[in-house]
Chain A
């Protein structure tokens, strides 16, 4: 079996990451819409919200758009890994290669972070222009973005391993990530949600990321950063464990 062969001369750890980054970049380069849509997607929502919502929420919504865009990377990971496995039959090759399943997961997530980066940078510039962000605020925001990126990418890839047809990719990805995006108070303070909804939202990691960012930037009223940070770590750990349980590396 190919996997039993000790391929010490082959990249064993970390060195394949630039290759995955290259895949992400090539995808952007070869498909203009793939580059434009992720860049524009959060701005469509932001535009809509700026039309209907009180202007005081705009800085909060820009920060929320950064988290929402990051969360959406999970949907692209789901789509990519489903195409790799179902259409291109590439996952079998990865399974037979020295590339283990954690690096595969991280590689797909990394390659999908590349198309999202321009939107995140532009949103960061807008955020800096509409509200004051301290160094601590930026660190909290970046930390939350990285946490959400890892968690939702893992969920996307794990779910994709259970899909049997490309036809399921769009509805499942849409259902999962739109629902998670709506339930978490990314675009408004949690205090204005109905109690039941607020309770459900508190089960989701993105809620604590939003609360942490809103608290660190002084946008969402009184906040307890230590508790929100602790609950973000805890809920992320639970989410990653669930994704790990769902993740099917080898075909059965």
Chain B
């Protein structure tokens, strides 16, 4: 077992989560509304930024999956009280965390594929850009799933969680240059947005797609920051899942 990881029950729980989420089609549809609204704003007010905004919508949708993990994990623990039952079963804690995060990823992928289709129509991506997009989206998913899961374990009622969920999506999705280009950010703020995972991902994909060039230094900082955050946070998520599985 690499790193002592245990994956018992992961497959069954992953499949269960996918099935559960596909029954929540309304949540899947409504997850597209905020990025949809921003795409609409851009289409009306600054149509030339549309390809950048569509890439931003893909990154934002991936980050939103983490917020759905937050809601789902909190719902299982607080509302259904199923958490303890799962942890008493052969399902491993890491299987529980990765199962929720993976189930969400699969269930929430279809709307992103629609956005990707629109992007392909107005700005086709090459092989390198496509690969960069896939890797960056997976990194954002790892970061946001961990944040969502960890935050979900810190609260005792659902009502308290919703504002934090909204705050996180706005802080990571709307404020940094995810839906708009890096060039719109004042110079003094650029170093900061390069290390924010969502904007780092959007900046890297925009550069790979030829939408907005970045310097070698900016590209390196964004890539290293995103990779480090994804790996460190995902490992922390697994550690946290194990810690939460113990009786307190």
A13 sits at the interface (CB 8 A) = no
User: Provided the pairs A37-B167, A167-B24, A182-B37 are in contact, do residues A31 and B30 lie with their beta carbons within 8 angstroms?
Assistant: no
Give the complex CA separation of A27 and B44 in angstroms.
38
Q: Please, how many angstroms separate the alpha-carbon atoms of A168 and B158 in the complex?
A: 12
A47 to B41 CA separation, bound complex (whole angstroms): 13
Which listed residue, A31, A53, A171, A175, touches B45 by the CB 8 Å rule?
A53
Does A131 reach chain B (CB closer than 8 Å)? no
Interface residues on B, range: 35 or more
Those of B4-38 within 8 Å (CB) of chain A:
24, 26-27, 29-31, 33-34, 36-38
Contact (A170, B162) CB under 8 Å given A52-B45, A57-B45:
yes
CB-CB contacts below 8 Å: B57-72 with A:
71
Closest to B159 in A: A83
Quick one: which of A51, A79, A187 contacts B162, CB cutoff 8 A?
A79
Q: A174 and B45: CB pair below 8 A?
A: no
Q: In the complex, A79 Cα to B179 Cα: how many Å?
A: 28
Q: State in angstroms the CA–CA spacing of A182 and B179 once bound together.
A: 17
Task: Please report the C-alpha to C-alpha distance between residue A53 and residue B162 in the assembled complex, in whole angstroms.
Answer: 30
Interface residues as binary, B183-223 with A (CB distance below 8 Å gives 1, 0 otherwise): 01000000000000000000000000000000000000000
B158 cross-chain contacts in A, Cβ below 8 A: 83, 87, 166
- Residue numbers in A under 8 Å from B160 (CB-CB): 31, 33-34
Question: B114 contacts the other chain (Cβ, under 8 Å)?
Answer: no
Residues from chain B with Cβ under 8 Å of A170 in the complex: 27, 30, 71, 162
Complex Cα gap A44–B42 (Å): 15
Cβ–Cβ contact A52 & B167, under 8 A? no
A168 to B159 alpha-carbon distance, docked (Å)? 13
Give B contacts to A, CB under 8 Å.
Answer: 24, 26-27, 29-31, 33-34, 36-38, 40-42, 44-46, 49, 71, 75, 79, 157-160, 162-164, 166-167, 170, 174-175, 179-180, 184
| Top-10 shortest CB links A-B | A33-B163, A171-B27, A178-B33, A37-B163, A53-B45, A175-B30, A171-B30, A174-B30, A171-B26, A44-B170
Q: Which A positions have Cβ atoms within 8 angstroms of B? A: 31, 33-34, 36-38, 40-41, 44-45, 47-49, 51-54, 57, 79-80, 83, 87, 166-168, 170-172, 174-175, 178-179, 181-182, 187-188, 192-193
Can you report 24 residue pairs joining A to B where beta carbons are below 8 Å apart? Answer: A31-B160, A31-B163, A36-B167, A37-B164, A37-B167, A37-B170, A41-B170, A48-B38, A48-B175, A49-B45, A52-B42, A53-B46, A80-B159, A83-B158, A166-B79, A167-B27, A168-B26, A170-B71, A172-B30, A174-B30, A175-B30, A175-B33, A187-B41, A192-B44
